[in-house]
Amino acid sequence: MGLIFHTDEQGTDAWRDSRRGVITGSMFKVARDKTAKGLPSAKALTYAMDTARERCGGKAQDVYVNAAMRFGTEQEPLARAAYIAATGLQAEQVGFITTDDGKFGLSPDSLVGPNGGLEIKTIVSSNTLFTAVVDGDVSEYIDQVNGYMWLLGLDWVDLVLWVPDLADAGMALNIRRVHRDEDAIEKLEADLIAFEKLVSDYEAKLRRLGVANEPELLAA
């Protein structure tokens, strides 16, 4: 599938429009969330309905941005600079990338060379510090990372776990390279395509409602 690179500044109306109705990489994990019976979870269904609403021109609920999320955004340039200094690799910033049909999109923090990517996570909570950094469990981020490899054809993604308050202890920069796993990517693709069908089904229901509410039909 083809790709479109959007270069609009983050937070602008054009940037928001490019994301409207798109299943985004940061939400791939939610899109794949299932019940014990293998059905879409309540979180997945809500996300599907929100996305369908956006595709029909509506506005889903605003995503709450807390202090930790804002802090992560502020820290991203520092983490990228530390990564470049430590690895000697060049990390090229890119905008929001969508498939040419506008169904899927992602925002890698950088592309690295011809076949690599960079995703930065600023670690705030101690629970995440010990889970992801100390114990090495990065499963919370793996769907997003695999999504980059799926849509962009990357061979690897460096997941940077950035802990700025531990800089004096030499523990600020933690790099976990995730290599391409064809089986995992195939399963991700299948789940996301099934989720997109769910979104499209909700969209069709909304559009049928619009047709049913047309004046000439109401007067009939």
The model's pLDDT over 159-216, given as tens digits with 9 standing for 90+, comes to 999 999 999 999 999 999 999 999 999 999 999 999 999 999 999 999 998 655 655 5
- Return the number of other C-beta atoms located less than 10 Å from residue 96's C-beta: 20
Contact 24, 106 (CB under 8 A): yes
- Return the number of other C-beta atoms located less than 10 Å from residue 193's C-beta: 11
| Size of the chain in residues | 220
Contact 104, 151 (CB under 8 A): yes
pLDDT tens-digit series, residues 51-100: 999 999 987 666 556 777 787 788 999 999 999 999 999 999 998 999 99
How high is the pLDDT of residue 62? 63
Domain architecture of the chain: domains with CATH: 3-219 (3.90.320.10)
Residue written as token pair 């985004």: 24
**In one letter, which amino acid is 26?**
S
For the chain, the average pLDDT equals 92
Two tokens, residue 146: 């695999």
Asked if residue 217 has pLDDT above 80, the reply is no
pLDDT tens-digit series, residues 102-130: 999 999 999 999 999 999 999 999 999 99
- Mapping DSSP to helix (H, G, I), strand (E, B) and coil, where does residue 6 land? strand
Strand ranges (E), the chain: 3-6, 23-24, 91-92, 96-99, 104-106, 110-112, 116-122, 156-162, 173-179
